[in-house]
Amino acid sequence: MIRVEGLRKSFGDVRAVAGVDLEVERGEILVLLGQNGAGKSTTLRCLGGILRPDGGLIELDGLRLPESLDSVRARLGVVPDQARIYGRNTAPEYLDHFGYLYGVPAPIRRRRIATLLERFELADRKNTVLAAYSRGMAQKVALIRATLHDPDWIFCDEPTAGLDPVAAADMRRYLDEQKLRGAALIVTTHVLSEAELMADRIAIMRSGVVVTHGALDELRQQAGRGRRFIAHLARGVPDPEPVSSWLGEHALDHSIEGDRLHYTLPWQSGAGERADFAARLQALLAEQGAPFHELEEEETSLESVYLEAMAAPDGPPHPALRADLPTRWGGEGIRAPRMFRSLRNQGSLLRHALPFYVSSWWRRGDLSWVMYLNAFVLLLVVGTSLFGQLPGVAGQVAQRFAGGQALQAGLLLP
């Protein structure tokens, strides 16, 4: 389960997240719904360990951030709002690289990559570099990368942005498959129809806080007075007074407009009560020679729920101010992933990374500064692997090896 209490994050004087409480069970999709700037993306980045919150509590299956950040990242999949992919590699190369970093065994990850590329209709483009992919295709690759290791928690920031309706529907089906597998998902969007189609529960955010949340039916109950019905009459009611008087006593509200009659019953009214009400109403209308030939329930739309939430006044002070929640995260804070790990892993990392980067350089077709920068990073890795220290570090061993003079700053001169 994902548990968030009193999450806060500010950028200077701008409070992006002003105290968010969330709970997401395994096998559930929670949709964060709100306008641009409501704090949805910042909330996801805090949950994924990308940003350091100013305060609050984050727990994923009992693992608390930032103390258990490394363990969380190994079981987390993140799809950003814009797919950031290595354009000079093919999809299989790119996905194999990340599958390796996630610790997926080679036979399993290659089988999964082939299956998922086929699943998302990208198999025929497997030899095409990612720079030639459309935005929608790149978004599919980003989703495959995020779920390649069967993560327990999946965070998706606007996952269907830039997709055509068919591709968006396929993306929703895939996220639903991840839910059925037992993952807990948080998805952000500002498109109401997307939220309505994929959400088990919805949290509506405004100005950095969750103003309302719950299942869609629960939100409809909060937004509307009750169940609204429309009766389509055979003709207009000649004398509406008896019908209107009876409705005034037994319905929450009503209106008669020509050959249509509207009325509202309490949410808690059962199916039997609603059927008895309709039968009595039909008898009264028949006496007027205007029985209804169709009766339908008028469903409160998510748009109505959303607009009401946006118009509601700000609530009381948030639980973020509770004294038992962290108000300052540890000095260590959010750490970047360990690049080199231990020396025992250097050989394996180098054997995997070298072909990946060389293939990327080869396709560049020029000796750009980026290539030199990557070569320098590889030099650091090789030096760390061979000598247990970075090349150029001052010391007696380094002096004998290089035959040079050790500077105080730690660099070597010939």
Determine contact, residues 254/287, Cβ cutoff 8 Å.
Answer: no
User: CB–CB of 163/133 below 8 Å?
Assistant: no
Domains and CATH numbers, the chain: 2-85+133-220+306-321 (3.40.50.300), 225-299 (3.30.70.2470), 343-413 (no CATH)
Q: Is the pTM of this model over 0.75?
A: no
Q: Mean pLDDT by 10-residue block, N- to C-terminus, for the chain (414 residues)?
A: 92 90 94 90 90 90 86 89 81 91 91 94 91 89 93 92 86 94 93 89 91 85 79 89 90 88 86 91 90 85 79 51 49 40 55 65 56 70 60 41 37 30
Beta bridge mates, 32: 188, 203
Q: What is the pLDDT of residue 395?
A: 40
- pLDDT at res. 346: 56
**Contact between 409 and 392 (Cβ < 8 Å):** no
Token pair for residue 57?
């509590």
Per DSSP, 258 falls in state T
The model's pLDDT over 287-317, given as tens digits with 9 standing for 90+, comes to 888 899 899 988 777 887 888 777 766 544 4
Alpha-carbon torsion, ordered 7, 13, 158, 326, to 10 deg: -10
Q: What is the pLDDT of residue 341?
A: 45
What are the CA-CA distances from residue 212 to residues 82, 204, 206, 293, 304 (Å)? 27, 6, 10, 38, 13
The contacts of residue 353 (CB under 8 Å, 6+ apart) are 97, 378, 381
What gap in Å lies between CA 327 and CA 66, rounded to an integer? Answer: 13
Structural contact between residues 183 and 25, judged by C-beta atoms closer than 8 angstroms: no
Annotate 179-207 with DSSP letters as a single string.
HHHT-EEEEEES-HHHHHHH-SEEEEEET
- Residues 186-242: tens digit of each pLDDT: 999 888 888 888 999 999 999 899 988 888 888 877 776 688 899 999 888 888 888
